[in-house]
Structure 1
Amino acid sequence: MRYTTFGRRTGLRVSEYALGTGNFGTGWGAGADPDESRRMFDRFAEAGGTFLDTADGYQFGESEELLGKFIAADRDHFVLATKFTMGATPQPDISRTGNSRKNMVASVEASLKRLGTDYIDLYWVHFPDDLTPIEEILRGLDDLVSSGKILHAALSNFPAWRVSRAVTLAELKNWAPVAGIQIEYSLVERTPDRELLPMAEGLGLGAALWSPLGGGLLTGKYRRSAEGRLSDLKTLVHTESTGQKTAVVDTVLAVAEETGATPAQVSVAWLRERAARASTSFVPIIGPRNLTQLDDYLGALDVRLAPEQFARLTDVSEVALGVPHEAVARAQDGVRGGDASRLASPTVPVI
């Protein structure tokens, strides 16, 4: 296991994998019991993993409770991240959801109690709520940093424009900086290449990348009617709903046969190579349901793709970047072709 700082805006040292613990517990009716959760935690720690990611709503609080017990013997060794927004109960009421200062304060106190700790290393705002002003969110997070209850603050599942505005406001107001973003990213979900990941690189934000296997699609198991997130939770999944997704799975399976690695390992190896080429830290969040799945993830640490294999996977999964990126690319191609005047002259349109 290698280590990196979480983005260029912090000195927070994290392992190259984050262990997502949404499957720690059975409150959702699916997941790992306490004994299996403990085995996964121990194996991750033995492999050198230090970065742990949970949320108050995972398994309706059970994930935080289990994780708190597991880290109790050596709390300071681990980088503990949790989230708030959605509430921690099956039927949260109006005062216990959203990103208001009221819910933020109540949520962090409840998480600290469940986790059995007096500080959280990285506190995520789980989702935007379309109601709470970003100024209220940032000022509340700044207070939590000042009080020592959290060390770093970050935004999960926020669009790029909101993150960019939050980063700028925090800088102007001298509030606690936004440390990073958390988003879905994989070979079957590469739309963050349009705005979110270039933004993270440009602003020096860390990026935690969830669902690196596309909800299990990239393992190829759903072609065998195997059980998984699709059959249990019926959420946060991809299916072969487009020709491109089918082509991506075909390519992953082909590369797996060539390398002798599993499809999951090939998919994560591509993501690790993608991260290595970034100018800031991209950290995959792995979310195993059992020890076998965790060992598969850990095995990807030893998989190296040939340049041609990486290129095949990159090309087959590429998404259209859209406006304005494609127009800019056309203009830059014109400059490289010797027609620089078209880009420089205000009287001649680029397109």
Structure 2
Amino acid sequence: MITYKDSGVNIEEGYKSVDIIKNHASKTFIPGVMNNLGSFAGMFELGNFKNPVLVSGTDGVGTKLDIAFKSKKYDTVGIDCVAMCVNDILCHGAKPIFFLDYLACGKLNANVAADLVKGVSDGCIQAGCALIGGETAEMPGFYPEGEYDIAGFSVGVVEKDNIIDGSNIKEGNVLIGIASSGPHSNGYSLIRKLIKNYDEEFDGKRIGEVLLTPTKIYVKPILKLLEKYTINGMAHITGGGFYENVPRMFKDNFTAVIDKKSFKIPEIFKYIMSLGVEESHMFNTYNMGIGFVLCVQRESSDLIIEELASMGETAYEIGYVEKGDKKVCLK
């Protein structure tokens, strides 16, 4: 008798992984979650909003996963997956409320899958949102054995009157940059081309460990700021670096003038540059040490930077806004 297992799909391993995953997901549940994992769909009750707008975002981890596989460290890239989604929807002032993930592989190992989803759970806890569902797909012959892909999406909510869409940005507004934790989840195809040995020492650690530092999640500090201060625009610095992402906060024709000497560039970016990458390309690929940018009124800049410092975040006044054609001018 031929079984599904003969085709390479182990149903029992799938059951085992689901049991472990349920434990991680339950730690993320917040008020509003209406059912446990295992239903056909996740349900979430919005609660008390006058005019709620749902804001959604989806993303994956990209080729950073390859370093995780080769380092046999699986429990942090799930944080990256959450971060790439929740930081995006945060740019419009939305509070992430729930997250769903998608995990695909060639041959399922329940413990590896559980480590990957543990990272997702940890990311959801950092973002204050609930992991309410997901999918694990075992596809033998489609993915090489030992390799996984992970993606997900988040849904957030914001009152319609509080949406941040850049319409209040004015010439002379100040740009505040909040420090990143490293390359986050962008530019890893180039990193993998330049760096082959993940065991080499860098800054007192294995460079593979440095490269697997999870993407910083900015949700909680930014939501606290929004309770006290007016923020006219926000940008998550992801693929495309400064040049692509900062102008995305502009609704009208403005240029962001940024002083590249106003903030500390982490050593990992200097090392990548030393391997032959030009500075202009670095700023067009990586966050260069600034993971999130705020556009605020000049008179509130110092107060916001001090407030961020009190929450453990390093922030800098990195530039200002002037009339222009939706671009970035680095000086």
- The structure whose RCO (Cα within 8 Å, separation 6+) is larger is 2
Comparing both structures, which one devotes a greater share of its residues to strand? 2
**TM-score of the two chains, using structure 1 as the length reference:** 0.22
Comparing both structures, which one devotes a greater share of its residues to helix? 1
